[in-house]
Amino acid sequence: MSDDTLLERRHRLLGAGAPLFYDRPLHLVRGEGVRVWDSDGRVYLDAYNNVPHVGHCHPHVVGALAAQAGRLNLSTRYLDETILDYAEALTATFDESLSRVALTCSGTEASELALRMARACTGNEGVIVTDFCYHGNSAVIASLSTAYEVPEGRDPRVRTVHVPEADADAAEAAAGVEAAVASLAEAGMRPAAIFFDTIFATEGMPQVPPGYVERAVALTREAGGLYIADEVQPGLGRTGDAMWGHRLYDAVPDLVTLGKPLGNGHPLAGVVSRADLIDEFAGKAMYFNTFGGNPVSCAAGHAVLEVIAQERLMENARRVGARLREGLFALGNRHAAIGAPRGRGLFMGVPFLDEGGVPAPAVTGAAVNGMRERGVLISRTGRHDHVLKIRPPMPFSAADADQLLAALDETLDSLA
Amino acid sequence: MSDDTLLERRHRLLGAGAPLFYDRPLHLVRGEGVRVWDSDGRVYLDAYNNVPHVGHCHPHVVGALAAQAGRLNLSTRYLDETILDYAEALTATFDESLSRVALTCSGTEASELALRMARACTGNEGVIVTDFCYHGNSAVIASLSTAYEVPEGRDPRVRTVHVPEADADAAEAAAGVEAAVASLAEAGMRPAAIFFDTIFATEGMPQVPPGYVERAVALTREAGGLYIADEVQPGLGRTGDAMWGHRLYDAVPDLVTLGKPLGNGHPLAGVVSRADLIDEFAGKAMYFNTFGGNPVSCAAGHAVLEVIAQERLMENARRVGARLREGLFALGNRHAAIGAPRGRGLFMGVPFLDEGGVPAPAVTGAAVNGMRERGVLISRTGRHDHVLKIRPPMPFSAADADQLLAALDETLDSLA
């Protein structure tokens, strides 16, 4: 079937508004490691997809999934060892205060649960988020995800803060949190939580000044709120420096939300929590998630943790990430359109700017399409959609990084 | 590992508040068809779990899942044929006006999306639900799920109606919807939707009088609202009489929510919608679901539809359901505690009453535990928790029904 016919069928069955990548959509049919193949048999280096965290169709994960699916798949209302083995392995990667887990099917469900827990346990209603964030697609979570307009409008219980760049003064920037708390107080509310994606991915990956996150969290706690760390983007060793993004700062979260890469594509997500919070919430609300924590999902999640350790993927992210970073800085010397690269490990952002230093989303868009023509998949992010987003599966090698850098160099030459 | 140790580990890792079945929890390790095995090797007839819809670990579904997981698993931002083949097969089972699909990971996400769509497309805020319903666990959906108290309290945009029993007057009962509309109007609102589980499972499976649903839907539409049919419980042929519960009434929904049995345990759910609603919503909101509609989920969902057709499971539900129903009525003649059985096909409810005709949840609870001792898994439902809930995987045979009836007979003898 031609891609045109496929697109027509898609519009008929899913609607023309369902989001697609690329001006000319890409029809993929197979994946392995860090590479995917389209319907014409063309191969692409995947430098974008973080969901297949340990590599597309990793045999250890697929094997674990298939074996458990053939054995038993039921809800957590029966006793089962699979979820306990996984929960033990997962919580072992966190501070010992974060000892309990509630598993869900999506990052949205994790955000929903964390916020319900924070509100029920603090008795407060307010939420502090950044002014360009994304935490999910349910009504409540979409209404606090400031990167997109929503038909529901902004929730009146939400206040926003601006995430500072590296050269800002941390204490001065954190005054935004004080202002948010004061604004909530004026409306008769106190904060239930501050919600931070600990790598600020949607925000365009600003390198926040040392002390900013710590100060923002302290101010929120003084006002009675909790710290929810959203690890959907930086989690599972992606930064190369730590298993979880929040470990890069000196503040232990009260609740951590997990999503996308957790099951290597299998719908697995969850909340890691202080024991007292999960217990208090269970006393106040009947929370049950039919698919959350089923043994097949847990087998997939556990296999992902095993591959990360066995293949030393965090170390790989640090090593290859450093090479990629160096290469991107070098490209910046050759191409005037490239601003200072940002990010860590295998999560890098490259802003494109015009001659006056103004964000140049048109150039970024052309670069994304040009890279695809050269067999490399990437995307873009940030408030002005001008930051190239490089976020490959974790087994990305030094040779893969070199291929990406060469393709980017060539693409920029062609755009000049 | 002993079950006591397992329970202790579970409390430590998931919290003691995570819901479990049975006074003495059951540790299951294997499933096949309509049977499951515990850690001591004891076999149970599963007459309760609807998630493994076509039978535990059905080889056709497991095979489809494993094959696709080894081929490719990415989001719907790339073109893919798997989702289109599945969407085509799925929508073919609906009225032709319900031509489009948005896939999600859970029934909660389906309820969230349907309600967001209804509110965005009608411009109205109100929701009409029954006074003892369950539609999911997000903040907004939990706040309209009247079967459980929630720490958030009831959403002020929600109005409830009481679902009538078979002997009620349909028009009189539907006046409850008029009252709900009037109450919303007093608060300056109009209904965005009425939300009906079309078999009223949580409500205790009342057999509503003919014309009730139709009249309730018509009144809601006159006031500007849509009809959302929740098919998480009655869907996929369970009633034996129709592929979807709403087909039992003469009213075509505007939106249909799907969940639990859709992927035979794989986290798959979704909304089937009128084309114009899905398109209008896409124009108003950026909705993207990372795992929703991934090719592995779609392969599992499609395999479930294939097994239902190949094994004539809807016909089986009708035939075996009729035998089960007859047997339950016969048991009612032998045991005074049994009220009139209700339900259809392979979804039956059996109320337990005391001598004065008052709900007797203690007897129901004893029966559930007694059935487990006799190797049959069932549960209970309804406002007073007094209705035995019989809802087995669909390949439940006549011999299985006879086993269940014999075990119930024996259990009731032992309780008398």
Residues A78-133 have pLDDT tens digits of 999 999 999 999 999 999 999 999 999 999 999 999 999 999 999 999 999 999 99
Which tokens go with A292? 């959350």
Separation of alpha carbons A250 and A214, rounded Å: 6
Residues A104, A129, single domain; the answer is yes
Q: Which string of b and e fits B325-340 if b means at least 16 CB within 10 Å?
A: bebbeebbeebebbbe
B30 vs A contacts (CB less than 8 Å): 71-72
**Which among A286, A310, A334 is the end of a domain?**
A310
| Mean pLDDT value across residues B145-167 | 95
Helix H, strand E, coil C: the string for A335-375 is CCCECCCEEECCEEEEEEECCCCCECHHHHHHHHHHHHHCC
Q: What percent of chain A has pLDDT over 70?
A: 100
Residues B38, B96, single domain; the answer is no
Per-residue model confidence as pLDDT tens digits over B58-79: 999 999 999 999 999 999 999 9
Residues A116, A238, single domain; the answer is yes
Rounded to 5 degrees, what are φ and ψ at A179? -65, -40
Which tokens go with A385? 């959609």
Residues A210, A161, single domain; the answer is yes
Mutate: best of B35, B48, B106, partner A, most A CBs <10 A: B106
* CB distance A239 to A344 below 8 Å: yes
Rounded to 5 degrees, what are φ and ψ at A380? -140, 165
CATH of residue A395 = 3.90.1150.10
Contact status of A278 with chain B (Cβ, < 8 Å): yes
Q: How confident is the model at residue B161 (pLDDT cuts 50, 70, 90)?
A: very high
Interface contact flag, A13 B140, Cβ < 8 Å:
no
Interface contact flag, A284 B9, Cβ < 8 Å:
no
Residues A305, A326, single domain; the answer is no
The total of structural domains in chain A comes to: 2
- The SS3 of residue B344 is strand
Residues A213, A306, single domain; the answer is yes
**Which among B281, B310, B339 is the end of a domain?**
B310
**Threshold 0.90, pTM exceeds:** yes
**Which among B266, B281, B310 is the end of a domain?**
B310
- The SS3 of residue B349 is strand
Residue among B25, B84, B148 whose CB faces A13 most closely: B84
Q: How confident is the model at residue A3 (pLDDT cuts 50, 70, 90)?
A: confident
Separation of alpha carbons A375 and A180, rounded Å: 45
Residues A358, A304, single domain; the answer is no
Whether the pLDDT of residue A269 is over 80: the answer is: yes
Interface contact flag, A101 B14, Cβ < 8 Å:
yes
Residues A296, A318, single domain; the answer is no
B159 - beta bridge partners?
B128
Its ipTM equals 0.97
Residues A301, A351, single domain; the answer is no
Mutate: best of A2, A14, A258, partner B, most B CBs <10 A: A14
Rounded to 5 degrees, what are φ and ψ at A315? -60, -40
| Mean pLDDT value across residues B21-38 | 96
Per-residue model confidence as pLDDT tens digits over A254-268: 999 999 999 999 999
Task: Locate all alpha helices (DSSP H) within A74-211, ordered by sequence.
Answer: 81-91, 107-122, 139-142, 170-186
DSSP state of A266: B
Q: Which residue in chain B has the smallest CA separation from A283?
A: B17
CATH of residue A118 = 3.40.640.10
Interface contact flag, A88 B266, Cβ < 8 Å:
no
Residue among A25, A28, A88 whose CB faces B13 most closely: A88
Per-residue model confidence as pLDDT tens digits over A325-341: 999 999 999 999 999 99
Strand-pair category, A100-104 with A269-273: antiparallel
Closest by Cα among B33, B54, B48 to B350: B48
Mutate: best of A72, A91, A297, partner B, most B CBs <10 A: A72
Residues B169, B306, single domain; the answer is yes
Per-residue model confidence as pLDDT tens digits over A179-198: 999 999 999 999 999 999 99
Residues A337, A299, single domain; the answer is no
pLDDT of residue A110: 98
Per-residue model confidence as pLDDT tens digits over B213-261: 999 999 999 999 999 999 999 999 999 999 999 999 999 999 999 999 9
Residue type, B124: N
Interface contact flag, B14 A69, Cβ < 8 Å:
no
Domain that holds residue B262: 59-310
Whether the pLDDT of residue A174 is over 70: the answer is: yes
pLDDT of residue A1: 67
C-alpha distance from residue B243 to each of A387, B6, B86, B206 (Å): 48, 40, 16, 20
Closest by Cα among B148, B220, B226 to B181: B220
| Mean pLDDT value across residues B2-30 | 94
Q: What percent of chain A has pLDDT over 90?
A: 97
- The SS3 of residue B88 is helix
Residue among B71, B260, B286 whose CB faces A290 most closely: B260
Per-residue model confidence as pLDDT tens digits over B357-414: 999 999 999 999 999 999 999 999 989 999 999 999 999 999 999 999 999 999 999 9
Residues B242, B252, single domain; the answer is yes
Count of C-beta atoms within a 10 Å radius of residue B365: 15
Whether the pLDDT of residue B329 is over 70: the answer is: yes
